[in-house]
Structure 1
Amino acid sequence: MKNNLSIDERSISIYFEKEFLQILDYDSTPPNGDCIKAVALIKNKEGKPLPNVSVDILEKEGAYFGLVSIYHSDKEKFVEIKSLSSEQKYFSITSDKNGELIFYIYPKKSTSVIFQVDSMVLDITDRISSKNKVYIVDNNKEDLNLPPLVISEDNSSLLVDPNSNTFNVLIQNYPGAKRNDTILFFINKQYVQKLFFVQEVNELGNDSYVIFPYNMFKANELANFSYAVVDKLRTVRSSYPQGIIYPGGGYNQPIDNLTRIYDSCIVYNSYGCHDDKNIIHDTIHEKDIDNKCNNSHHEALFVKIIGTSDYKNKTKVPLGAEVTLNLYVNNYPNTIYQSKVKIMPTQPDGDNSNTATLLFGIPFSYVGHIGNGDIYLDFQVNYYGDISYGKIWQANVYTVRPGGEVTGDACSDGKTWSGIC
């Protein structure tokens, strides 16, 4: 390999697709055992993917390779662990024909680990830390000494600011708090992709706020909100759960202070996405959704997001990226929030095209019988751990039939669909 090879150093940083895994009471093994996928897309400084680049993955203190089993992308071959020195181990992974680098981590029986790595291309790049860490720990060791989270609530009902789509949680000082502790957050024992890193213990209880979106809760359902403290030695203490009910009423629109780089989605009426005359621009009427029964999931709307294989095109979603579509419907006093995760196709739609189409369906039950409402759609893109956003699409909704009757909704298949498809 030539030392003058142009590599974007940021692109060799490893991203772990899962940040938390409950410790197991058995050794997890391929191909079907619980595992964490580690990925990177190796690119040059212009953004072009680079095949056949050998990247060294280096062990970090405390995240020792022997605490897990590590396999190549085929989930069949162990990676070969080598010694850089008496105290430094590493293994090498080569990017595939598409520039993608993949390996898998399998937990070992009753073994806690906070796993992270450095990456390096010898003689070309510096050591680059992974984008995130993996916490394989036991979240079932509840500790009565851990204080509850400081949440604005009244008799378990969350106090809601109607002008905000987020709320703050204050992290109190807790017994045995140490610098470099990590606090993970859970709802009903499910990790909510939020963590807090303790930098200074004396800041706990003062400026130690974590911001959460209201829509992580289901409205009017009891949720058990808890946290776990993980120290550098992988010792874990979990709080007892707090019962919280989100009564609804938060600001049900996309977050407005995000940088949004991708073109907004394209929305079609119930007659399908194969004719541009079906595109909806700023208003949804009853006639737009009346073809629902001819659609497999009673879709009233179709949502299209365009992807591209052109790495120079920064306005369209990269092929293979994870896309989360968010739907917000407001019909005072009722609101709907739903999300759906899909993967942008990895290949273009046709031989002579560099674009691909990702399609979502919005069922009639979310947009029918609205007298004077509004709808918003936006999306988040996760591309090898880099998070970016699409522009907001919005429209007014007037879907009450003349006279206001609700008869005739039922389709001949007798089904009622809900959830974005």
Structure 2
Amino acid sequence: MPEPRLPEELVDLAAELDARDPLAGYRSEFVLPDGVLAYLDGNSLGRPLRVTGERLARFVDDEWGERLIRAWDERWLDRPTAVGDLIGRVVLGAAPGQTVVGDSTTVLLYKLVRAAVDARPERTEIVADTENFPTDRFVLASVAAETGRTIRWIEPDPATGVQPAEVAAVLSDRTALVLLSHVAYKSAYVADLSAITAAAHGAGALVLWDLSHSAGVVETALDAADVDLAVGCSYKFLNGGPGGPAFGYVARRLQDELVQPITGWMGHAEPFAMGPDYVPATGIRRFLSGTPPILSMIPVEDMLTLVERAGMPAVRAKSVALTEYAITVADRVLAPLGVVVASPRDAATRGGHVTLEHDAMKTVVEELWRRGVIPDFRQPRGLRVGLSPLSTSFGELATALAHVRQILAEVPCG
């Protein structure tokens, strides 16, 4: 079988983009195994940093092995808020004291959804969209059942995402909470966070944004947009590893008002007092529950340090360039084979991945994985080209898309 290759002008374009990429040097800081020809799934699980392996080994020997239980008093108790502040500063546009790390995305979603609707007891509706990630929809359904509320479902066009007008049309004085994703996990459509937040506030509702597909790849400014609440995972563009902890953002103005529903010892005002009653800690710490995952914060901290060094504007600029190149290749060599670009073409409304649709994509992805080219498949016919800017080169992307082209030419649709 001949080695797959794109037309020379597309290969040359990838080489030119790599040559003038100011972030190209960061790629060498990641673990890049020889068995992986191209990795296009950074929007699901980011590559590990080489320094993380070294730090984890030192942690076992020093912080854990040497300091043992003393490390809680010396450092670990502050890690959830310290890493939270780092996330806030580097990727969220959030001042200190509003972001905390701990739990999974699902658990944090539940805690903040429940706290939000309980803070609006007289309001009976929650607004959400049918295209959101399953976890978001499942959590909302559970909270609605628990609290006797109704969900007002928006059914957006998957290609364009949730529009401010669609949200405004279902808002009323019955709306307690609006829950949406900033970047759609299927199409990568970027919602108008500021406009939707303002519309919800105009109706007296709170807004909770899921930032799982935007944190670390799309610039956000939560404080400037007056966002109420946000959650996000750390294992995508923040490279926190499988099962990496989530983060939660609660605007300072709401922290004393909201009561989180999973009260645990780590959210207590005096965790080691072991008293008979729960007294919440002040500030963002009250949104912690159980023992925080100290080990799992190390990879997140490493990646945030790298992102801060590169700068989010530069990261976003490369993300746009990578997705633009993917669309250019798709239009030139994949469209004639029946591939449809199912992501926004306007860079301002496109996140860090591009979805390519074709009826044979499930078979294509299976063969790509066998070859060491790794994107992911989303039902019913989507291949997601996930592009983590600091670890992905244009040449790597060109190689992957050349394999997609070759396989599609050999595998008939249907």
Q: Is the TM value for this pair above 0.5?
A: no
Query: TM-score, structure 2 length as denominator?
Result: 0.23
Query: TM-score, structure 1 length as denominator?
Result: 0.23
Bigger-Rg structure (1/2): 1
Structure richer in strand, relative to its length: 1
Structure richer in helix, relative to its length: 2
Higher relative contact order (CA 8 A, sep 6+): 2
